[in-house]
Amino acid sequence: MNSEFRIQNSESQKLAVVALGSNLGNSRQIIPVAMVRLQTFSSRPILKSSLWQTSPVNCPPGSRIFLNAVVGLTTRTGETPESLFQKLRELETEFGRQMKKVLNEPRPLDLDLIAFGMETRDSPELILPHPRALVRRFVLQPLAEIAPELVLPGQSRTVSQLLAGLPDGETVTRLS
């Protein structure tokens, strides 16, 4: 694990993992700009994965390929999973995301809160850790780049171990 990622979870600060995706508009520009914006939510420099080109998963027919990435940020004092989740929704809207009409439809920016410290949630608005992150190569591959030894809440295996256990099928290519 990156030594920078060994952040002590305290009552005031938590390690948050956010997955980024885009398949509408100039994704190569959108994701890096969104990462800069996510830095404003962090009390320390964020960890950023590379950009990854990925095949659409459970998307409408004809969906374009995605660009994906993951960041790790240190939450500010007083931040909650719910308040960070709301900030992520607002950022998506700023980048032009519309209200969902079709499940997994194309979007300029998709931000998923994967984990928030060791906290768990199970509400209609927010589930932590993100329930599908554990089976999505497009999340685990970039996360393994910045935090291979991270163990997500409720898991006993590291991100690298979860990634190694995934079946083939998703195409995930690291971009230079």
Which residue type is seen at 147?
A: A
DSSP 96-123: TPPPPSSTT---S-EEEEEEETT--EES
Catalytic residue among 44, 110, 121, 136: 110
Catalytic residue among 97, 121, 122, 157: 97
Catalytic residue among 37, 44, 89, 112: 112
Distance separating alpha carbons of residues 144 and 141, to the nearest angstrom: 5
Burial label, 156 (beta-carbon count in 10 A; 0-12, 13-18, 19+): exposed
Clarify whether 64 is annotated catalytic.
Answer: no
Clarify whether 107 is annotated catalytic.
Answer: yes
Q: Output the 3-class SS for 36-73.
A: HHHHCCECCCCEECCCEEECCCCCCCCCCCEEEEEEEE
Clarify whether 110 is annotated catalytic.
Answer: yes
Is the alpha carbon torsion for 166, 169, 170, 172 positive or negative?
positive
Catalytic residue among 107, 122, 132, 137: 107
Strands 66-74 and 15-22, by their bridges, are antiparallel
Residues with catalytic roles = 97, 107, 110, 112
